[in-house]
Structure 1
Amino acid sequence: MGVFIFVLLLAILISLVLLIRLFVFLFKRLRGRETIFATKGIKKGALGMLILVVLGIILIAFSQLMAATPKIARENSIAELRKVQLNGRKEWVSIRGENRNKPLLLFLAGGPGGSQLAATRYELAELEKDFVVVNWEQPGSGKSYSAIPKKQLTPEIYVQDGTALVRSLLKEFRQEKVYLVGESWGSALGIFMAKEQPELYHAFMGTGQMVAFEETEKIDYALAMKLAKENEDQKIVDSLRKNGTPPYYGKSVTTKSAVYLNYLSQRMARNPEIQNPGFQTIRDLSAKEYGILDKVNYLRGILQTFNQVYPQLYEIDLRKDYAKLDIPVYFLLGKHDLNAPRSLAEDYYDKLAAPEKEIIWFEHSGHNPWINERERFAEVVQQIAEKTK
């Protein structure tokens, strides 16, 4: 499967290169007012390039048109992958549920720039029995990668578009409120949205809860350095020293942050206390929801959108700016999370004023309880919904 994806991505790149070469060739010929197909060699070369480009474009277009979310074989079910207009921007959502009359649950993916359409369908399928699960492809990620120029992306854009999506869903499904679930970056975005329009939400559930972004990066960096030294991983130590202590700015935010984030993720993946330890990227990239171009943008979002948006989050500290929320708040936290420091989440919880709040610990989870202990995660979400409906 990995080879298949590699071949598809390679085909896209080759097609784009050939297309550019063809345009350059035509431009030069027209500019010089020469006959484009003056010789047999030129004609054959141009024709060959044209055929390859056309085939590549057809392949890409066909894969995009065929992208879909699998159907649910239940009466009155809903399983749609649709394009939506949010504040004038074209973005995508998946909407899945065994009964379209069940309560709405909006899942906010991690990132910024992460796409989890397939991951949530696989890992949280149990929730589709009791909710209409909506997964939003945020601008700059996956199928919504081109919704807005990267330089215009701000945290405020995410809040505005997320709120517009919620209002649209409530109107379409004739409901008064939705349940809001956010993971990692999505856990902070969910807090932003809940603060902005609390009347739209039954409750907020954050997992892999982010609290203070710059402080988190410094803690993660120091922990990775400590563990790398203890395990004599000299290459990691050298890379961390070369990059220096975060925060990072410029064009290398993603690559520098990845050194310690990936190292900590690898440590969690090897932790025997953590069940089902991690994302299955090849499986997710191969999913029906993504056409060839989507697969490329899946990767571009992780690399480029993160680089653009994350530095804008450094100054945010939920303990200072979001210490009061007017809806019930639940933190579903992994006991072995190395990426989002538990100490910050517990400190935020202590300072947070909310109608109801609770930390629910997952003893066999790291940063992603919704993957590590998916059955229990679904049960906890259902229990919270029962309490807050």
Structure 2
Amino acid sequence: MKNKLKRLIYLEEYISINGIKQFMFHLGTSYDNPVMLFLHGGPGSVESLFTCAFQEKWEEIYTVVHWDQRGAGKTLTKNPDKLPTIDLILQDLFEVIQYLKKKYNKQKIVILGHSWGSVLGSVFIRKYPEEVAYYIGVGQVINMLENEQVGYKKVKELIEQADDKRSMKRLEKIGEYPGNKIVFNKKFLKKCDEVRKLQGKYKLGMKIDLALWITVFKSPIFKFSDIIAFMKIFQANAKLHSFLGEFNLSNEPAIYQVPIYYILGGNDWQAPYIIAQKYFEEINAPNKNIYVIPNAGHMTMMEQPELFFDALLEINNTEVKNKCHFIQKSEDIAYDEYLESKVR
């Protein structure tokens, strides 16, 4: 039974976005709740298949919409030759938000970006701040090259401390990593895959194991074609990987026109939390806050779901209070202007 929780909002659909049919999965309990668009990682690694592992409580305060991006998941399966560039996917995202605003009668949408989604989300909110109520970055990527440098150094440090000779031999076989520039070719991807496995072993990053695949297979929307799509992500997202390799948020002033929230895993060294933490200090935004979740790695919301939800609840409550304060202030100003007009 797909909608086993009897959610008021439960919808799988393909919508025409920027010339192709793209997949969205909606879950929620009230049409009055704010709409959160979840931007998945990768590029190409959809997280619509993991909703049952972490999202149940979220749906009490948000209508959560997962979108399989161009070049990913069910959207890739339906459009195997319609592959993404950064300009295409930004336009896709803009159109997805217009659709959601109209469907749910909202003026703005909340964006949560995880890993690659945090790159896409950060670029989008700079370009279209008027479309976004606020932004939540999870596994936030600041500088891709620095990510790999710091993450590699950390796993090497732990391997040395553990006197893990077998893992040290694997590191030595990798050789220089990541180099002075990231180019997502076969050679780099092979090295990166080995580093990720070692990070997973030491609980520093996402671990792709049997438990993860069982979660996928239990998803109410899982199809075997999703596995085939996952196997194609590097080829399908080659142009996005090129953009990602050179990505560095610090190249521009850390000035944002929307509230910014970061939820980071205190043991995330795949997108090292210490880099995002340092960058966050520089952020100038209407409102901001940062949450570092202990004993959580790159899949923060799955590894510490209760603490993650507590952070989301606090963020939502803060934004509700801010909105009420803004409305009250606007009403006070309007009333003062009315009184002044009477005096005249």
Q: TM-score, normalised by structure 2?
A: 0.82
**Structure 1 residues 115 and 315: CA distance shift in structure 2, 3 A:** same
Q: 1:268 aligns with which of 195, 203, 213?
A: 203
Matched residue, 2:3: 70
**CA shift digits 1:54-95 (9 cap, x unpaired):** xxxxxxxxxxxxxx9535425xx1101110111112210100
Cα deviation, residue 364, structure 1:
2.2
Q: Measure the CA separation in 2 of the matches of 1:332 and 1:348.
A: 13
Helix, strand or coil for the counterpart of 1:125? coil
Q: Measure the CA separation in 2 of the matches of 1:208 and 1:243.
A: 21
Q: Which amino acid aligns with 1:362?
A: I
List alignment gaps of at least 5 residues for structure 2: 321-344
Matched residue, 1:145: 76
- 1:381 corresponds to 2:312: yes
Q: Measure the CA separation in 1 of the matches of 2:23 and 2:299.
A: 23
Matched residue, 2:95: 164
Q: Measure the CA separation in 2 of the matches of 1:141 and 1:258.
A: 19
Q: Measure the CA separation in 2 of the matches of 1:255 and 1:281.
A: 21
Q: Measure the CA separation in 2 of the matches of 1:219 and 1:228.
A: 14
Q: Report if aligned partners of 2:126, 2:256 keep a CA contact under 8 Å in 1.
A: yes
Matched residue, 1:194: 125
- 1:284 corresponds to 2:216: yes
Q: Report if aligned partners of 1:278, 1:372 keep a CA contact under 8 Å in 2.
A: no
Q: Measure the CA separation in 2 of the matches of 1:278 and 1:201.
A: 37
Q: 2:191 aligns with which of 253, 256, 274?
A: 256
Q: Which amino acid aligns with 2:303?
A: N
Q: 2:170 aligns with which of 233, 236, 239?
A: 236
- 1:364 corresponds to 2:295: yes
- Count of residues in Structure 1 that have an aligned counterpart in Structure 2: 314
Q: Report if aligned partners of 1:191, 1:322 keep a CA contact under 8 Å in 2.
A: no
Helix, strand or coil for the counterpart of 1:145? helix
Q: Which amino acid aligns with 2:155?
A: A
Matched residue, 2:328: none
Q: Report if aligned partners of 1:212, 1:316 keep a CA contact under 8 Å in 2.
A: yes
- 1:101 corresponds to 2:36: no
Structure exhibiting the larger radius of gyration computed from Cα positions: 1
Q: Report if aligned partners of 1:69, 1:81 keep a CA contact under 8 Å in 2.
A: no
Helix, strand or coil for the counterpart of 1:113? coil
Q: Measure the CA separation in 2 of the matches of 1:264 and 1:195.
A: 32
**Structure 1 residues 278 and 212: CA distance shift in structure 2, 3 A:** farther
Q: Measure the CA separation in 2 of the matches of 1:279 and 1:330.
A: 30
Q: Report if aligned partners of 2:204, 2:268 keep a CA contact under 8 Å in 1.
A: no
**Structure 1 residues 105 and 182: CA distance shift in structure 2, 3 A:** same
**CA shift digits 1:289-336 (9 cap, x unpaired):** 1222223113322x4345552232222211223621101101111111
Q: Measure the CA separation in 1 of the matches of 2:81 and 2:247.
A: 20
Q: Which amino acid aligns with 1:266?
A: K
Q: 1:295 aligns with which of 199, 222, 227?
A: 227
Q: Which amino acid aligns with 1:258?
A: D
Helix, strand or coil for the counterpart of 1:280? helix
Q: Measure the CA separation in 2 of the matches of 1:180 and 1:244.
A: 30
Q: Report if aligned partners of 1:336, 1:365 keep a CA contact under 8 Å in 2.
A: yes
Matched residue, 1:130: 61
Helix, strand or coil for the counterpart of 2:57? helix
Q: Which amino acid aligns with 1:380?
A: A
**CA shift digits 1:108-160 (9 cap, x unpaired):** 11111101112123311111112111011111111011566679522222221
Q: Which amino acid aligns with 1:281?
A: W
Q: TM-score, normalised by structure 1?
A: 0.73
Q: Which amino acid aligns with 2:272?
A: P
Quick check: 215-224 or 360-369, which moved more? 215-224
Q: 1:87 aligns with which of 6, 13, 18?
A: 18
